[in-house]
Structures are given as structure tokens and as C-alpha cells.
Amino acid sequence: MSLTDALDVRAGEAAHLVFRRATVLDPVAGIDAVHDVVVRDGSIAALAAPGEAEAEGAEVVEAEGLHAFPAFFDPHVHLRTPGHEHKEDVETGTRAAAAGGYCGILAMANTQPPVSTAADVSALREQARASASVPVGFLATVTKAMQGSELTEMVELREAGAVGFSDDGLPIADAGVMRRALQYQHLCGGNIALHEEDPRLSRDGAMHEGPVSAALGIAGIPSVSESTMVARDAALAGYEGARIHVQHLSAAESVDAVRAAKAAGVQISAEASPHHLCLTDEAVRGLDPHRAKMNPPLREERDRQALIEGLRDGTIECIATDHAPHQPEEKDVPFEQAAMGVTGLETAFAALYTHLVAPGVIDLSLLVERMAGGAEPFDLERPSLAPGAEANVVLCDLGAEWTVGEDGYESRSANSWCAGETLTGRVLMTVAAGQVAFRLRSFSLGVAA
Amino acid sequence: MKHLLSIEQLSREEIEAILDRAESFAEVGRRDIKKVPTLRGRTVVSLFYESSTRTSSSFDLAAKRLSADLVSVKAAGSSVEKGESLKDTIATLSAYDPAAIVIRHPYAGAAQMVAGWTSAAVVNAGDGKHEHPSQALLDVYTLRRRLGSLEGVGIWIVGDVLHSRVARSNLIAFARMGAEVTVCGPPTLIPRGIEALGCEVSYSLDGIAGADVVYALRMQKERMSESFVPSLREYAANFQIDTRRLEPRQLLMHPGPVNRGVELSGEAIDSPQSLIAEQVAAGLVVRMAILYELLAGTERAPSGDGEGSAPTPIGTPA
């Protein structure tokens, strides 16, 4: 399904744009050349020869030297609505997504109360139609109130429009409950996204278990807390012929488990988060909860390298931010007491471009492909720049340097893991579902002139 | 040195400077009037979020011996019980314009955060299971007095290393002073990756005969319920330091309070090899030295009327 068919967004004016002489890169569609990109009536109308596109009635964006990619898709965002609107809501969270170059996001269900009934889903979809800058899909919880014991009414939730299911924030600790959910998926459909963690192994851990936790005296969350659950659920999914999506992989052993499951024919997809791809537990030494406290925790260099290898070989098909807004009073406390989670929507592309592409660790085309890879695991069309596709375009200046947070955030929260860092590569404009969802202020001034 | 947040942050030279200063305060302690006017008119806040006898009483007495005004706040009975955040408590106490805040807190990094919220010098008196730098300094002081130098000295730290901030600070301090450190305890109570701090790991007391100093840690009773050890009986059978296991040439230390009959036998505690009482005495002079090093020479103008008989600070303008 296209993003507009499956997800909800505030209705607006269909853009009529020409991106003049943009460097167009869509590795999946096999496009890598300078074109005039014409957006009209919600679609990519044409990729014309540079300078040749008919611009009558269209806004012309001079894009020479700038890059146009398929806009990004994030399958893992916490919009905090309902219940924690002081951290984020549908309007601010989707504005942050648009500013990060996203044309679609999936919102997690661990709200207060959790999204567990058809009425919850319907209410959120209505909010999205009223205030979302980019299309949003809502996941519902797998178990009632995320208690991990009884399944939600998954058929009715799907009928109400739940894109899939997740108890994210918590694992489904009981293997028997997990198995029932996978069996039931044959009736209700919808992918099941899993936060993999064994609570008996994580206990009161607040960071990765290793030499750094030993030095800091902070209880550790061992890698096997995640990887044993990935292996368990891959085995269950294989046994039941069901489909799972593994969220925020952090440990090398987990990447191995996903790779082995794929080789064995299990229907399994996986995501990794920018902070796990860019940082290690060395970042925890500063004991700054704003930047370095999240679950799963930042792990060691060997884990980070394994995640990068997983991106390269396709074990990990997508990058997901796990955008998790928190207010200062939940972070201005000692590390062990602080809330878990960091924001990421507005910085994901630039951070990964700066940390991985610019130094030559991965190719730009791989990053662009993985940034939009989160749609397909949830049966959504991958954003594409092929003529005729729904218009989902992000325009980036790969030469621009900017300092995270210096102009504030679109998000209601400021707990960015890369706050204060100078990044290279900036999103200038985002077209989502045929509408202009974001323009960088300084850039739009330039366009007007 | 603006704050004392960890041993990790101190060089060997900085450790030695504090110990040298403490030596000079030991002399003050032998006088009839054990007080010097160094910190007269300045305020020291001691803020304890956890129970403590040794550390809080010796910091308090140290501040008084230096003639500071002391404000002592315990979490129990304070606005902390009413749900005030650490940040707000620090803002409140900072309104008294303290020269130093001595803080003990149940979570790692608390002292470091406080240092970012106040202009006072911050002394970490224990943050979670992370560090307890003043304990490590007084232990190095005690050993240095006994042995002259820690260079090449074999030190075994025995017991619940996992939950011990003393173990972490001491192993860093001992290693930095040239000692060869081994941590020893059941595998469930030795943190994975601790070797990275520069120590050996042993899961049994075999080989402890090679140690010059045995440093036993407190074994808390609640560790049994969490399956770290099957019973205190089995723990004691394998890891208790008693006079049978302790050779006459070896020195015995413990940060206190001791569980008699668990990590140490009563005989061992009371044996002539035991430095436990010396450690407590060292606590006072070392904590005086810490406050002195942080505060003396940092007076705001107009300064007080000289420093009386107090020693001149090393490396800081007098």
C-alpha cells in the first residue's frame, strides 16, 4: 500500500515543484544522475534532463549541487500521545520527522494508557488527520496494557487501522504468549515488532555490561539479554511460519542471530538506530544521561562494527531512530535514575552521513537505501523517485555544516544524543505524500529571493 | 584541582600532594588545640543521601578543625523526603554560598552533576557503586605511613567487588601508586571487564600468600537473596580472612563497617596486623587535607587575616 493509503496525514495542498538540476540518487530504482525532478498532483511527474523541465505554474527550486533522495521512513518513533504530551505529540513529532527528511513514520504504542483498543487507534488516526505533517501509522500493543500476559483484540485493531503490533518499551517475556501472538498473526495479519530483552538478565542494568560498566560501578545489561531473545523469537517465528521485525538491534550476537534466522528462511527483518551505529559505551563515561542513556544501551566497538556489517550485508534492512523524547526533569538526575531514550528524527541522516559516509565507512547509496528501508517490513511501499511514484522527496545539502540544537528543535524535547555536535549534511526540504512538509527557514528565504 | 570527584581524575602527583598535606595535619592533631583558622568564615555543606558514620563524621570534624561553618544535611528528615530533586536541593544550598559541598548519593555520577550546578567545590563522598575517592586516599595514606611506598606492593582486594565503590577507587589508587592489585571474590561478585582497570582477577584465595596487604570488603547480607552467593556460610568458608589464612607479615585493611564472622574473623580484626583503627584515624587528616587543597588559596577578596599556623598549600598561590 502507498503511504497515503495506509497512513494518516493532515490534508493539504498538493505541491507543484521543479527541483532544477538536482543530483538524484535512488539506489533501489537505479537512478543516479542530475535531473530536473518534477512533482505534480502528488506524484513524481517526471525526471527531466537538467534545465529542461517545463516550469509553468510550478515553484522552481534551484537544486544545483544539492541531492534529492527518496524521503526517509522511520518505523520506530515515540510520539508520546496520549498521556505524555509534555514530551511530544503528533504535531511536534511529525514536524520533527519532516525536518529530518522523513515522509512517513510509525508510532509506538507504549503510551499512557497504551494503544490497546480500536478506540485508541481511531482517536490517534483522527489526531493525525488533523495535525500530522507527514503520514503516520500507529502500532497497537501485542498484549493488553503491555502486561505481557493476554493478547489484545488484534483483528479489531487491524480493522481500526493499526499498521502492526508492538509492546516496544518492554519485551514479551513469556515465550508462550509470544507464540500465541505469532499463531494469531495468521488471522489478523500485520507485522509484530519486538523489543528484545530478557528482563531476568537485564535486571536493574542501566548501561551495557563490560569494562566501562565495571569502571563506573553501574549495573550492566549484558549483550545476551538481547541476543537470546532474538534467537528465541526467530525460532518461534520459524516454527509458526510467522513474521517478526526485530527493533533496535544493539549487540553483535543479535546481528548473528538475525543473520542465521534469515539464512534458515525465517521471515524476519531488523532495524538499527543511529546512536548505536555512531557511538559506543565509551560515551557513557561522561555519565551524561541526556546523551548516553537509552535502552538498549550503547555497546562496544565490536558491536557497532557488527551493526555496520549487518547494514552492509542486508541483515539489517533499515535504520530506525527510536526517537524517544524526554523532558529535562527526567534527564537532569544522576545517570542511573534518568529516563531511557534519546531523540533522533531531526539528526539521523546528518549524523550517519557525518559518522559513516563522510569517513568512507559506508556508501551514500547504502545509507539512502537503509533510511527508507523501514516501510516494506510493514507492507508499505518503499519511497521512490521513479516517475509515477508517490512524491516523497528529501532535498539535502551534503556540504552544509550545522550544530545540533543551535536553532532549537521541532521536537518538544531536546534530549538529542548528538546535541552540540557539528554535523555535515543538512535536510533543506521534505516532500511527503505529495505535500511540502518541511523547508529549512534559511533555505526557503533563498528560494523566495 | 577544583573538585574531588574521583580517583580516576587524579595523577600520582596530585595524590601525593594530598597525602603530604595530610601528614602536616597529623601534627596539628597532636596539639592541645587541634584547630587551625584556614577556612574561617567559609561554609562547608555536607549532604548525605545515604547513611554513613565514618565518612560523614570525619568530613564534619575535618571542616570544623579547619574553622569552617558547617551545614550538615541528611536526606532523612530533609526536603528530599518531600520529593525535592537533587538539582533543586543544590540550588537551595548554594544560596548559602558554600565554599564546598561534600555529597554522598546512592547513584553514580551524582557528585559530577552537582559540580555542574554549583560554584562550590564539590567533594564526592561516595556516588553509588562508582567511586569513593576520600576512602582510597586515606587507605593509600595509611599504607604509605606503614610501608613508605606502595611501589611493587602486592595488594589483594577481597569480597563483593561488584557492589563496592571502595574497591573501584582503591584499585585505581593503589595501581596508580605502583602497587600490584588483585581483586578476589566469587565470580558472581566480580564485575565483567574489571581487568581493564589494571588488576588481576582471582576467584579463590589460593595465592593470597603472595600478597603484602589484604583488603577485605564488606559483604552485605541481602546479596544472598539475589543469588549472588548461596549463603553467608559458604561465602565465609571460601573467602573469610582469618588468622589461619593471614600470614604474620601481611597487613589487613577494611573500610568498615565490618560484619564480624563474615568477611573477617574476630581474631583477624583484633590482630596486630590489622590497620582498621589507623584507617579511621587517617580519615580525619586526609579529609582535612582534601578540603584544604580544594579551598585554601581560593579565598575571595577580601581575604581573611592570614592562615595562622596552617601549612602553605602546595602548588597553589598562598
pLDDT in tens, B74-128: 887 777 777 889 999 999 999 999 999 999 999 999 999 999 999 999 999 999 9
- The closest CB to that of A220, out of B192, B195, B196, belongs to B192
Which one, of B310, B276, B5, lies nearest residue B134 by Cα? B5
Mean pLDDT, rounded, for A395-399: 98
Task: Decide if B108 and A335 are in contact by the 8 Å CB cutoff.
Answer: yes
Distance CA B168, CA B201 (A): 13
Output DSSP code: residue B44. Answer: E
The torsion angles phi and psi of A238, rounded to 5 degrees, stand at -65, -45
Q: How would you label A99-136 residue by residue, b for 16+ Cβ within 10 Å and e otherwise? A: bbbbbbbbbbbbbeebbbbbebbebbbebbeebbbbbb
Has residue A448 got a pLDDT over 50?
no
- The closest CB to that of B128, out of A217, A222, A329, belongs to A217
Distance CA B276, CA B54 (A): 12
Inter-CA distances, A295 with A224, A299, A391, B8, Å: 14, 11, 34, 27
- The x, y and z cell numbers of residue A60, run together, are 522552481
Mean pLDDT, rounded, for A432-443: 93
Active site residue A120: no
In a mutagenesis test of the A interface, which of B118, B122, B129 is the best target, namely the one with the most A β-carbons within 10 Å? B129
Task: Decide if B109 and A335 are in contact by the 8 Å CB cutoff.
Answer: yes
- The x, y and z cell numbers of residue A257, run together, are 542471530
Contact B3, B122 (CB under 8 A): yes
Q: B108 to chain A, minimum CA–CA distance in Å?
A: 7
Cis? peptide before B257, omega within 30° of 0: yes
Cis? peptide before B133, omega within 30° of 0: no
Contact A383, A375 (CB under 8 A): yes
Inter-CA distances, A345 with A113, A271, A401, A415, B42, Å: 24, 15, 17, 11, 49
| Residue-level pLDDT at A340 | 97
Residues of B with CB under 8 A from a CB of A: 8, 85-87, 105, 107-110, 112-113, 127-131, 164-165, 168, 191-197
Contacts of B193 in chain A (CB under 8 A): 209-215
- The x, y and z cell numbers of residue A315, run together, are 541483515
pLDDT, tens digit (0-9, with 9 covering 90-100), for A56-110: 899 999 999 999 999 999 999 999 999 999 999 999 999 999 999 999 999 999 9
Distance CA B231, CA B221 (A): 9
- Per-residue confidence band for A449, with pLDDT thresholds at 50, 70 and 90: very low
In terms of C-beta density within 10 A (0-12 exposed, 13-18 middle, 19 or more buried), how is residue B208 classed? Answer: buried
pLDDT, tens digit (0-9, with 9 covering 90-100), for A247-303: 999 999 999 999 999 999 999 999 999 999 999 999 999 999 988 999 999 999 999
- The closest CB to that of A213, out of B86, B110, B191, belongs to B191
- The x, y and z cell numbers of residue B314, run together, are 602546595
ipTM: 0.89
Q: At a CB cut-off of 8 Å and minimum separation 6, what does B214 contact?
A: B155, B156, B158, B208, B241, B246, B250, B251, B252, B253
Which one, of B125, B161, B114, lies nearest residue B287 by Cα? B125
pTM for the full predicted model: 0.93
Task: Decide if B113 and A287 are in contact by the 8 Å CB cutoff.
Answer: yes
Q: A216 to chain B, minimum CA–CA distance in Å?
A: 5
Contact A163, A153 (CB under 8 A): no
Least confident of A359-373, A395-409, B217-231: B217-231
Inter-CA distances, A138 with A6, A190, A370, B250, Å: 10, 11, 21, 67
Contacts of B228 in chain A (CB under 8 A): none
Q: Is A433 left (phi over 0), alpha (psi -120 to 50) or beta?
A: left
The pLDDT mean for chain A works out to: 96
Task: Decide if B191 and A220 are in contact by the 8 Å CB cutoff.
Answer: yes
Cβ count near A353 (within 10 Å): 21
Which one, of A218, A223, A230, lies nearest residue A193 by Cα? A230
For chain B, residues with pLDDT lower than 70 are 299-318
Catalytic entry in A322, A332, A363, A407: A322
pLDDT above 70 as % of chain A: 99
